[in-house]
Amino acid sequence: MNAFTPRILFASLVSLLLAFLPPQAVAQSKTLLRISTPAVPQDWHAKMWNVFKESLDAGAPGEFEVQIYLNSSLFKQAAEPAALARGNLELSTVSAADLSRQVPYFSVFTAGYVLRDVPHQQKVFNGPIGEEGFKQVSERMGIKVLATAYLGTRQLVLREPRNIKTPADLKGIKLRMPASKEWLFLGESLGATATPLSFGEVYMGLKTGTIDAQDNPLPTVRAARFYEVSKQVVLTGHLVDALFIAISQKTWDSLKPAQQMKVQQAAQAAARFNNDNRLQEEKQILDFLKQQGLSINTPDINAFRQQVNSAYKASDIAKSWPAGLLERIQAVH
Ligand code: KDO
């Protein structure tokens, strides 16, 4: 035993105690809100969390300590919902695929060519359809959805250019998708060979050629610098993608009503910031990608839509959709 041992022991004991205390107790007067996301710093859905923090600091000064963890540095991609449910994490964004395992209602939103465009997406999620789904999420998953952020419209991006007009032209292409049944089915429905990989590994996958392609909204292609290791964009526009800003139900229930209101407002401000900037960027991004040397391929969207629709119709995935939900979504104008 050397002279430092007791001090080290004491420090370890303190960290151990802190780890077992509820987050609220750590900062006595302040409620700790930790945010975990796979988003890279330059992406709008990373930057929106600064807006969340600023809004909360201004609306409820001294009441919250907001800590933002980007690049999946706190929880792995897709591990966030379970962490939120257990109260091990306070805030994150969750995708429709993340929700659909426990709430099949959301599975329909993982399908290609269901949501037409951004106004359609926002109307659906901010109206009775969204309300009904989010209620199920809070009851079954212990997660409260605070706002819907537009992640962008997903396009295919290839490391080597090909002439892609119809789904048949994607045959044999190793298309990276996030690792879940719903995402992989979407990739297969487009005609490609879907390969699961986490977001953090996509850049290297493209660089080394372990994958031929990936799909993401184009602002993310810029933010994560995927354009450096890609040569072609194929404008399939197959998914008008959303991320739901979500808080652990345990955290939410521990807040006073006035604090809940401030948190809700901060989440809405963050979503607005993300949505406005992303939409603006999507309008100009093809110029940027062309300047980076990528070619832009416009495929036969109807051929993709038809193939994707019939693949879903015949699938087990669609069997889990509540009767009439797809038609209700389509009827929103
Ligand atoms: C991705 O892994 O392709 C994806 O776009 C899926 C989304 O649901 C979301 O997890 C997103 O990555 C991350 O936030 C990183 O941008």
Residue 9 lies in a domain: no
Per DSSP, what are the bridge partners of residue 295? 232
Match 């005609």 to its residue by tokens: 191
Q: Whose CA is nearest to atom 7 of ligand 1?
A: 95
Which of 271, 249, 260 is CA-nearest to residue 84? 249
Predicted confidence at residue 28, as pLDDT, reads 63
Domain span holding position 117:
28-330
Query: Lowest mean pLDDT: which of 5-14, 137-146, 262-271, 283-292?
Result: 5-14
Mutating to test ligand 1, I would choose from 35, 71, 76, 77 the residue with most ligand atoms within 8 A of its C-beta, which is: 77
Question: Quick check: is 12 in a domain?
Answer: no
Q: Is the pLDDT of residue 4 over 80?
A: no
Domain assignment present for residue 23? The answer is: no
Residue 261 lies in a domain: yes
| The pLDDT of residue 215 is above 60 | yes
Say whether pLDDT at 272 is over 70: yes
What is the rounded distance in angstroms from the CA atom of residue 40 to the CA atom of residue 24?
A: 27
Q: Distance (Å, rounded) from C-alpha 214 to C-alpha 174?
A: 8
In angstroms, what is the span from residue 147 Cα to ligand 1's centroid? Answer: 17
Angle formed at CA 76 by CA 267 and CA 29, multiple of 5 degrees: 50
Question: For residue 333, how far is its CA from the centre of ligand 1 (angstroms)?
Answer: 27
Q: Which residues line ligand 1 (CB under 6 A)?
A: 37-39, 43, 45, 77, 95, 178, 199, 216, 220
7 located within any domain: no
User: Ligand 1, atom 16: nearest CA belongs to which residue?
Assistant: 39
- pLDDT at residue 161 is higher than 90: yes
The per-residue pLDDT for 9 is 45
Percent of the chain with pLDDT over 70: 92
User: Rounded mean pLDDT of the chain?
Assistant: 94
User: What pLDDT is stored for residue 108 in this prediction?
Assistant: 98
Please choose from 216, 239, 240, 241 the residue to mutate so as to test ligand 1's pocket, defined by most ligand atoms within 8 A of CB.
216
Percent of the residues in the chain that have a pLDDT greater than 90, as a whole number: 91
pLDDT at 29: 87
Question: By C-alpha distance, which of 30, 68, 65, 60 is closest to 259?
Answer: 60
Q: Mean pLDDT throughout 99-118?
A: 98
Tell me which residue has its CA closest to atom 5 in ligand 1.
216
Reply yes or no on whether the pLDDT at 130 is more than 70.
yes
CATH number at residue 85: 3.40.190.170
Does residue 45 form part of some domain? yes
pTM (predicted TM-score): 0.92
| Spatial separation of the C-alpha atoms in residues 214 and 211, rounded to whole Å | 8
Q: Is residue 291 part of a domain?
A: yes
Q: What separation in Å is there between the alpha carbon of 114 and the centre of ligand 1?
A: 19
Q: 256: CA distance to ligand 1 center in Å?
A: 32
End-to-end Cα distance, the chain = 73
Which protein residue's CA is at the shortest distance from atom 15 of ligand 1?
39
**Number of domains present in the structure of the chain:** 1
- pLDDT above 90 for 2: no
Residue 8 counted as domain residue: no
Q: What is the pLDDT of residue 3?
A: 40
